[in-house]
Amino acid sequence: METKDQKKHRKKNSGPKAEKKKKRHLQDLQLGDEEDARKRNPKAFAVQSAVRMARSFHRTQDLKTKKHHIPVVDRTPLEPPPIVVVVMGPPKVGKSTLIQCLIRNFTRQKLTEIRGPVTIVSGKKRRLTIIECGCDINMMIDLAKVADLVLMLIDASFGFEMETFEFLNICQVHGFPKIMGVLTHLDSFKHNKQLKKTKKRLKHRFWTEVYPGAKLFYLSGMVHGEYQNQEIHNLGRFITVMKFRPLTWQTSHPYVLADRMEDLTNPEDIRTNIKCDRKVSLYGYLRGAHLKNKSQIHMPGVGDFAVSDISFLPDPCALPEQQKKRCLNEKEKLVYAPLSGVGGVLYDKDAVYVDLGGSHGFQDEVGPTHELVQSLISTHSTIDAKMASSRVTLFSDSKPLGSEDIDNQGLLMPKEEKQMDLKTGRMRRKAIFGDEDESGDSDDEENDEISEDDELENGSSDEEAEEEENAEMTDQYMAGKGVKRRKLEELEEDSEMDLPAFADSDDDLERSSAEEGEAEEADESSEEEDCTAGEGGISGSKAVGEGSKAGLSPANRQSDRVNLEKSLLMKKAALPTSDSGHCTAEEAFASEDESEESSSLGAEEEDSENEEAVRKKLSKPSQVSSGQKLGPRNLIDETSDIEDLLKEEEDYKEENNDSKETSGALKWKEDLSRKAAEAFLRQQQAAPNLRKLIYGTVAEDNEEEDGDTREELGGLFRVNQPDRECKHKADSLDCSRFLVEAPHDWDLEEVMNSIRDCFVTGKWEDDKDAAKVLAEDEELYGDFEDLETGDVHKGKSDSDTQNEEVEKEVKEEIDPNEEESAKKKHLDKKRKLKEMFDAEYDEGESTYFDDLKGEMQKQAQLNRAEFEDQDDEARVQYEGFRPGMYVRVEIENVPCEFVQNFDPHYPIILGGLGNSEGNVGYVQMRLKKHRWYKKILKSRDPIIFSVGWRRFQTIPLYYIEDHNGRQRLLKYTPQHMHCGAAFWGPITPQGTGFLAIQSVSGIMPDFRIAATGVVLDLDKSIKIVKKLKLTGFPYKIFKNTSFIKGMFNSALEVAKFEGAVIRTVSGIRGQIKKALRAPEGAFRASFEDKLLMSDIVFMQTWYPVSIPAFYNPVTSLLKAVGEKDTWSGMRTTGQLRLAHGVRLKANKDSLYKPILRQKKHFNSLHIPKALQKALPFKNKPKTQAKAGKVPKDRRRPAVIREPHERKILALLDALSTVHSQKMKKAKEQQHLHNKEHFRAKQKEEEEKLKRQKDLRKKLFRIQGQKERRNQKSSLKGAEGQLQ
Amino acid sequence: MATQANSLSYAGCNFLRQRLVLSTLSGRPVKIRKIRARDDNPGLRDFEASFIRLLDKITNGSRIEINQTGTTLYYQPGLLYGGSVEHDCSVLRGIGYYLESLLCLAPFMKHPLKIVLRGVTNDQVDPSVDVLKATALPLLKQFGIDGESFELKIVRRGMPPGGGGEVVFSCPVRKVLKPIQLTDPGKIKRIRGMAYSVRVSPQMANRIVDSARSILNKFIPDIYIYTDHMKGVNSGKSPGFGLSLVAETTSGTFLSAELASNPQGQGAAVLPEDLGRNCAWLLLEEIYRGGCVDSTNQSLALLLMTLGQQDVSKVLLGPLSPYTIEFLRHLKSFFQIMFKIETKPCGEELKGGDKVLMTCVGIGFSNLSKTLK
């Protein structure tokens, strides 16, 4: 039943399936199709022309090669720093809104106010630092240098604005980060078509600027003041998956985009001098390259500094732990923006900061309650001094009374004193000692408290300091007894801080040797710590004082104090032991084998290092503590057990004591270098800790300090200590040869045997021994089948193994090891075979490019692997701080305006400088005026350059290079051409791009970027010349020789130019011959032709120009808040003239005047008579004698008519007038008639045409009808036929 | 800017060359005080003055200030210039004294350096030009400094005290250096040497060769010691003779030793046989120390590693010489570079003394003098 209902299968006649079938059918018929044309018609595809073939091959290869970039070593860190996303756009385009939306999208948090960079975790492996960029060109330049990705906001309703193009150009010059356009305000379009058109137009313009196909994002509209969620989400997705190409400048320089700033200056210093230089710490993620301690940095907008200290902190916005899940949970979606007040609790080296919501440390809030406190804090002199200086007038005409007056006449005070105001009352109390004291005390106390409160943040107060000093003394006394006080809580941190390689190495030893040499330990440690380059010259006692005075750094002090308060703790238990075994072994060795003397020495050395390590753990070694510790130690040192030490050692100590106050310098210095020599004697026996030997234990080095800190006695004399520093060391022979100190006896057999294996004749390692390798190969490749003969060769070893296997079977697998080894062998064999196969087929043609790439990859792997196993503290020492770390950078001597005028909206960038990049010199660059800049640039006009990290104003000279390499000065830049520019400024590596702007202040109407280019050359001298023409005049002319004067001033000058080429204006060339005696500076010259007296002779010379050494960094960040975009440097002469209304005094000769040409008066041509005669007639001057006056008789007489005649004439005149009038009329009539006739004719013609047209129309209609009829009839006929 | 705080300060004349060379490369000014301040003859010596003059010749814009007594030197480096230079070295020290520093600086000039040095080619104090030619040049080649113009030619030999030798050193310019991984010294495959004699009997050289061979033949048969007897103008102004030996390994490492006779009129006369034997022993001593770099060139290798790209470089050295140790400290203060130092104790195999594996990350130095075209 059902089968009947089913439809019959119908073949498909169209669609893909049918096509396929058709094709198959055709193939079966061997007809093929178009795709197989090559097969179908091989002749057509044969090589027609070998040349063309070669050419096309060449072309494909070229294209392939063009795609290659030079392979570079991949230096990206494993945990990269957050990507810097710069949100840029003109005002009111929606930047802040976009940032807020993005943050909300990623973190589900809403930031009310955004100041400075905001770091967020955007994915499992990516973090973003989002920062807003306003329209200040300073900010634009700075941010373009650090940006990884730029979100370029464009107001679609308005179109592109100048800022957008400026920023694009800035980006282009400084490396071109990824740029993504975002169109906003798209909801303002009413018509869809217009919107589409605008989108398209903007997109194409954007593409021409960035690159064709650059991503442009559309944010269609706002919902409740925010962008649409879906769009923001998509944008976020785009950002998180974006890939970046390394930029040369960014990968070769370390930089930090600071997201937090703290002022570490001693509040006391600020109190006394509000304008004192500040010490600040800046925080941020390190990017780019490795940053080393003490290296040079540049802060754009502030200046150059040296990093005084750098440390890394735990990541405040860490990436989540690696887990196998798709997305982040809420806890991991971190946001960190300390400048905006987000980030919660911040940990620092010596403090914890808790954000109290909105109250920021940099803003002076002057509430009424704070006013008193503030005023008290801001007093600059003590109350005593104030009182002493204050005066009071009781009566209007009386002499003002000072405090001393009151003292003197205390009892004579009149009764009116009760009417005194509060102030005088105080005065009075002041006079009465006890009373005054009390009140003063209370005031002081109050003051103290306040200051304490105030300073609590920075971590110290005066009281604390005192207490601490005392404590310090006790502390070091205790330390002398070998007891270490440490803070329990700080333990972990501290042990992190020190260098694990040697910090803890000597514990055992210290404990063992503690009993034997307490005193020694004390003095030695002090010595060890403070040995410096040997800039001594101060007595020990002096040094103590100095030490206690020096370095009142509150931070250090506090940390010390903290240490003091700690409970006693055994150090050994606390510290992790990494390589202590090594050292103790060595130490033990030393103490056992060497004499007592040397052992004590060794112990001392170790102890001191131990001490150092501890101190370093507690805080950075502070000058204070070391100085204080010195005092008693020195005493002990002087009095006790000097005899224990070598004489040389003694000298050392004294030297060191002298230079105590310069502590903190490298501890290894002289002392250790001496030890180096000693240690090297021991080196053969025990493996020493070389690192300790070379670098010492303290990483601190401020050699700069020890230059001028010599103490002076009474300000006049210097204590000249006998400078007994190891003369033989400092002034010894400078030779690189490493002399053998204890030569071996090479006649002995065992000594000779010790180097046997260094020669090829010796024993080889297993993997390199030729015989063994051969045997192995034999084992692996031994069996093969000869295909020609069909023989099967079996490897020897293989058969062996087979035998073994047989045996094994017999043994029933007694030994599992053997089986394993066999397996291994089998695997080995397989691997080798695969390698062979790969070598033969896959890697047959490895190009140069591939090799290079492989090499780079290998290097990258090595870079990653080398320090991977070490912990960060040690790693940082070797590599420097690596990018991706969150670092805290301390900088000293920062101008106070930086702190006072701190504006978190402006980016603070710490750009690391390479070697010599901090120096200045002449920089030569290739420059081109920007095509959109309206003016041309003038040589010697100050202009602001942005090169490398810097923005600075300088005075460039423009030049062009002639074909012979001469650099010729240009007054102005060429309009549409490259030229050279040279200026005096900071040295920046060649190949760095730059841009120039005329001014960074205010708003300029047009495009602001004046020129762009690239640095070509750096030098300390420059060879730009300008043309100088010396002119002279001939005063005596012989045949080809002339005497010229006025070109030089003396015979000496002439002598200098003898043989030089000269020329006249008319083009006669000549040469200077010799100076003449008569007019000073005249000379004899010979020419190729005779000169005229009216000729001017000139000589073309080249005169070197000098570049003004003017380098003025743009310090825009130091300007007051709100005025940061008003920096103005040196003005150009033009601007100055305009400002002062000074008009340029024009050279009268240079003025343009109407050209008045006097009529040229030619003398008559005089032809001699003889010549005239000789001339043919036609050339003879035709001098016709002028017609003379017509004589009277020749003149015709006047005709006087008769009246009758006159009548006739009048009648004739009248007749002729009438006739002519008649004729005129007739002519007019004729004309009219003609016109009429023409018109009639035209009309006729028209009618005729019309008639014809109608006729034709009729005809055609009839014809058409006829035809239709015919057709109809024919159709009908056909149908009829059919039917 | 070149601020005063940027400058480094040292005392004493020792390691003067290191300091000045590193100062030139790092661009940091250096101040050296108390140069032989307590000496009867205070201040800079002739050879040091000559060295400073040489630095002045190859740089552009250097500022050198020396006080009246010559005990204080302030050096503000300029940019390395190069080009064709001639220099008369002081005869108090060998040409090696100057050449060692030039080897450090030459690859970073603006124009390729071609310098003619005149003075003492071989003496007892400094590494001779023969040794530098045989060891330092191959070392530089490892760093990618190579080319046709890279050579050191000994035109004339001069022995102390008269001098009169002449060498021509030319070196190409490089923008960046390659990182190196020299961790396998390889095995010594051949020993070459140069026995020279000037203004003495040519027989001396042969006698030296015989005695040196007698020692070295116990280890390896592939020994060839050239004899070089220079005559006439090429023989300098003083008589003398000496021997330099170089051992080459399978991996291209060169170890060297040398010995020269006492200068005329100083010390007792040296027998050529003794000299040959002692020199051979010195070579064995050097082989015992081992490593991938000769002990005289340790500092050069470390410097070039420091100046490499920001990549890891490794080198295996023998025990560090005091000069190298000081150099490492200087590297730290000038470039903030610390080396990872691992001692590799000698195991059972008979390969001499302990070795040191030095590892560092280059500072990413690029030649600032070279012009971009």
Q: Within the 775-834 window of chain A, which residues sit less than 8 Å (CB to CB) from chain B? A: none
Question: Which of A758, A767, A923, A947 to mutate to test binding with chain B, by most B CBs within 10 Å of its CB?
Answer: A758
The span from the CA of A85 to the CA of A130, in Å, is 5
Record: contact B61-A1020, CB cut-off 8 A: yes
For position A369, what pLDDT does the model report?
52
List, in sequence order, every residue forming a beta bridge with A951; answer none if it has no partner.
A946
- Per the listing, tokens 């420097």 go with A880
Burial tier of A131 (Cβ tally within 10 Å: 0-12, 13-18, 19+): buried
- Span A8-67, pLDDT tens digits: 888 888 888 888 888 888 777 766 555 667 777 888 888 888 999 999 999 999 998 888
Candidates B219, B256, B279, B303: best to mutate against A (most CBs of A within 10 A) is B219
Whether residue B194 sits in one domain with residue B280: yes
A positions 527-546 inside 8 Å of B (CB): 533-535
Residue B366 lies in a domain: no
Identify the weakest region by mean pLDDT among A39-48, A96-105, A597-606, A1045-1054.
A597-606
Last residue of a domain, one of B252, B273, B289: B289
Cβ-based burial of A6 (10 A; exposed 0-12, middle 13-18, buried ≥19): exposed
Inside any domain, residue B152: no
pLDDT of A684 reads 42
- A1116, pLDDT greater than 70: yes
Query: DSSP 3-state assignment of A1150?
Result: helix
> Which residues, numbered 1021 to 1050 in chain A, qualify as contacts with chain B under a Cβ-Cβ cut-off of 8 Å?
1021
Q: Which amino acid is at A825?
A: K
* Domain of residue B252, residue span: 188-289
H-run or E-run covering A421: none
3-class SS at A730? Answer: helix
Report residue A761's pLDDT band, with 50, 70 and 90 as the boundaries: confident
Q: How does pLDDT run across A212-260, given as a tens digit for each residue?
A: 989 999 998 888 888 999 999 999 999 999 999 889 999 999 999 999 8
Report pLDDT for B328.
94
Q: How confident is the model at residue A595 (pLDDT cuts 50, 70, 90)?
A: very low
Residue A704 has pLDDT above 90, yes or no: no
Residue A451, pLDDT > 60, answer no
Same domain, B268 and B336: no
* pLDDT band at residue A961 under the 50/70/90 scheme: very high
Cβ within 8 Å, pair B365-A915 = yes
Report the distance separating Cα A1090 and Cα A1077, nearest Å.
22
Assign 3-class secondary structure to chain B: CCCHHHCEEEECCCCHHHHHHHHHHHCCCEEEECCCCCCCCCCCCHHHHHHHHHHHHHEECCEEEECCCCCCEEEECCEECEEEEEEECCCCCEHHHHHHHHHHHHHHCCEEEEEEEEEECCCCCCCCHHHHHHHHHHHHHHCCCCCCCCEEEEEECCECCCECEEEEEEECCCCCCCCCEECCCCCEEEEEEEEEEECCCCHHHHHHHHHHHHHHCCCCCCEEEEEEEECHHHHCCCCEEEEEEEEEECCCCEEEEEEECCCCCCCCCCCHHHHHHHHHHHHHHHHHHCECCCHHHHHHHHHHHHCCCCCEEEEEECCCCHHHHHHHHHHHHHHCCCCEEEEECCCCCCCCCCEEEEEEECCCCCCCCCCCC
Domain assignment present for residue B316? The answer is yes
**Minimal Cα–Cα distance from B232 to chain A, Å?**
31
Q: What is the pLDDT of residue A939?
A: 95
User: In this predicted structure, which of A414-423, A605-614, B294-303 has the lowest mean pLDDT?
Assistant: A414-423
What are the structure tokens assigned to B306, written together?
A: 């420091």
How far does A716 lie from chain B, in Å, by closest CA?
22
Distances (CA, A) of A225 to A92, A98, A230: 13, 11, 15
pLDDT tens per residue, range A169-201: 999 999 999 999 999 999 888 899 999 999 999
Q: How far is A1020 from chain B (nearest CA, A)?
A: 5
* Distance separating alpha carbons of residues B305 and B139, to the nearest angstrom: 11
Q: How far B31 CA lies from chain A's nearest CA (Å)?
A: 10
The residue of chain A with its CA nearest to that of B300 is: A736
Does B288 sit within 8 Å of A730, measured CB to CB?
no
End-of-domain residue from the set B20, B47, B80 = B80
Distance CA A331, CA A1258 (A): 95
Q: Do B1 and A304 touch (CB under 8 A)?
A: yes
What's the gap in Å between the CA of B301 and the closest CA on chain A? 13
**Distance separating alpha carbons of residues B272 and B225, to the nearest angstrom:** 14
**Measured between CB atoms, does A296 come within 8 Å of chain B?**
yes
Structural contact between residues A910 and A950, judged by C-beta atoms closer than 8 angstroms? no
Residue B315: its pLDDT value, please? Answer: 94
Q: B17: nearest CA in chain A?
A: A734
B67 in the same domain as B2: yes
- Between chains, do B310 and A290 touch, taking CB under 8 Å as contact? yes
Backbone phi and psi for residue A687, each to the nearest 5 degrees, phi listed first: -75, 115
The answer to whether residue B163 sits within a structural domain is no
CB contact under 8 A, B351 and A757: yes
Domain of residue B270, CATH code: 3.30.360.20
Structural contact between residues B302 and B358, judged by C-beta atoms closer than 8 angstroms: yes
Do B74 and B34 fall within a single domain?
yes
Query: Residue A202: what pLDDT?
Result: 94
pLDDT by residue (tens digit) across A141-172? 999 999 999 999 999 999 999 889 999 999 99
Question: From the list B97, B351, B363, which residue is nearest A915 (CB)?
Answer: B363
Q: Is the CB of A916 less than 8 angstroms away from the CB of B368?
A: yes
Over residues B103-116, the mean pLDDT reads 95
Q: Are residues B309 and B265 in the same domain?
A: no
Identify whether B35 is part of a domain: yes
Beta bridge partners of B118: B88, B166
In a domain, B89, yes or no: no
| Whole-number pLDDT of residue A836 | 79
Q: What is the predicted pLDDT for the residue at A732? A: 83
- Contact state of B350 with A744 under an 8 Å Cβ cutoff: no
Q: Does the pLDDT value for residue A348 go beyond 80?
A: no
Q: Note the pLDDT of residue B181.
A: 93
Pairing of strands A296-299, A303-313: antiparallel
Nearest neighbour of B350 by CB, restricted to A289, A680, A757: A757
- pLDDT for residue A672 is more than 60: no
Q: Which residue has the tokens 């507690």?
A: A618
Give the percent of chain A with pLDDT over 90: 40
Instruction: Sort out which chain B residues have CB atoms less than 8 A from A915's CB and list them.
Output: 25-27, 335, 363, 365, 368
Q: Which residue of A has its CA nearest to B4?
A: A704
Distance CA A500, CA A692 (A): 11
Residue type (1 letter), A196:
K
Beta-carbon separation of A918 and B361 below 8 A = no
Q: For A836-854, what is each residue's pLDDT tens digit?
A: 777 766 655 677 888 889 9
- From chain A, the residues in CB contact with B337 under 8 A are 292
β-pair type (B111-119, B82-88): parallel
Q: Are strands A920-929 and A1009-1019 parallel, antiparallel or unpaired?
A: antiparallel
Instruction: Look at residue A34 in the predicted model and tell me its pLDDT.
Output: 57
| Best to test chain B binding among A734, A851, A961 (most B CBs inside 10 Å) | A734
Distance from CA of B211 to the nearest CA of A (A): 14
Q: Return the pLDDT at A842.
A: 62
Give yes or no for A1017 touching B (CB within 8 A).
Answer: yes
CATH of the domain at B25: 3.30.110
Last residue of a domain, one of B240, B274, B289: B289
> What does the pLDDT read at residue B180?
93
Considering only alpha carbons, which residue of chain B is nearest residue A750?
Answer: B350
Percent of chain A with pLDDT over 70: 64
Q: At residue A834, does pLDDT exceed 70?
A: yes
**Arithmetic mean of pLDDT over chain A:** 75
Strand (E) or helix (H) holding A1138: helix A1133-1140
| Closest CB to A921 among B61, B126, B179 | B61
DSSP string, A665-695: S-SSHHHHHHHHHHHHHHHTTS---HHHHHH
What are the start-end ranges of the E strands in A62-170?
83-88, 118-121, 127-133, 149-155
The confidence score (pLDDT) of residue A643 equals 41
The pLDDT of A365-388, averaged and rounded, is 56
* Average pLDDT value for chain B: 92
CA distances from A117 to A95, A410, A1216 (A): 13, 64, 108
Amino acid at A174: H
Consecutive H or E run containing A978: strand A978-986
Can you tell me the mean pLDDT for B337-359?
83
Same domain, B355 and B333: yes
Task: Tell me how far apart the alpha carbons of residues A960 and A942 are, in angstroms, rounded to a whole number.
Answer: 19
Within this chain, do residues B245 and B333 fall inside the same structural domain, yes or no?
no
A731 CB within 8 Å of a chain B CB: yes
pLDDT value of residue A375: 59
Tell whether B194 and B283 lie within a shared domain.
yes
Same domain, B309 and B340: yes
In 10 A of CB A423, how many CB atoms? 11
Distances (CA, A) of A528 to A419, A525, A609, B322: 67, 5, 7, 20
**B45 in any annotated domain:** yes
- What's the rounded Cα separation, in Å, for the pair A650 and A643? 9
In this prediction, residues A849-878 reach a mean pLDDT of 89
DSSP state string for A852-891: HHHHHHHHHHHHHHHTTTS-HHHHHHHH-BPTT-EEEEEE
Subunit contact B320:A694, Cβ cutoff 8 A = yes
> Which chain A residues touch B368 with a CB distance below 8 Å?
915-916, 987, 989-990, 1018
Q: Which residues of B touch A770 (CB under 8 A)?
A: none
CA A919 to chain B, closest CA, distance in angstroms equals: 5
- Structure confidence at residue A429 (pLDDT): 34
Residues B345 and B311 grouped into a single domain: yes
Q: Beta strand B165-171 with B188-198: parallel, antiparallel or unpaired?
A: unpaired
Residue A281: predicted pLDDT: 94
pLDDT exceeds cutoff 50 at A664: no
> How many residue pairs from chains A and B have C-beta atoms closer than 8 A?
274
- B154 within a domain of the structure (yes/no): no
- Give the residue, A377 or A185, on which the prediction is more confident: A185
Query: Which of chain A's residues have a Cβ under 8 Å away from the Cβ of B189?
Result: 759-760
B153: tokens are: 């030619």
- pLDDT of res. A722: 44
**Residue A1063: per-residue pLDDT:** 96
Rounded distance between C-alpha atoms, residue A398 and residue A385, angstroms: 23
Chain B residues lying within 8 Å of A676, measured CB to CB: 322, 325
pLDDT score of A620 more than 60: no
List pLDDT tens digits, range A712-745: 445 555 555 444 444 446 778 888 888 888 888 8
Segment A1218-1249, tens digit of pLDDT: 999 999 999 999 999 999 999 999 999 999 99
Least confident of A85-89, A261-265, A426-430: A426-430
Q: Per mean pLDDT, which range of A47-56, A817-826, A1256-1265 is the poorest? A: A817-826
Write down the pTM of the prediction: 0.69
Which residues in A lie closer than 8 A to residue B257 (C-beta atoms)? none
Cβ <8 Å between B60 and A755: no
A295 closest CB neighbour out of B336, B340, B368: B336
Is there a contact between B312 and A862 if contact means CB atoms under 8 Å apart? yes
Closest partner residue to B359 among A731, A738, A866, by Cβ? A866
In this structure, the answer to whether residues B218 and B283 fall within a common structural domain is: yes
Number of domains in chain B: 3
Is B187's CB within 8 Å of A760's CB?
A: yes
Residues of A with CB below 8 A from B60's CB? Answer: 1019-1021
Worst-scoring range by mean pLDDT, A213-217, A799-803, A1008-1012, B74-78? A799-803
Strand A278-287 versus strand A226-227 pairing type: unpaired
Contacts of B37 in chain A (CB under 8 A): 723
- Whether residues B276 and B200 fall in one domain: yes
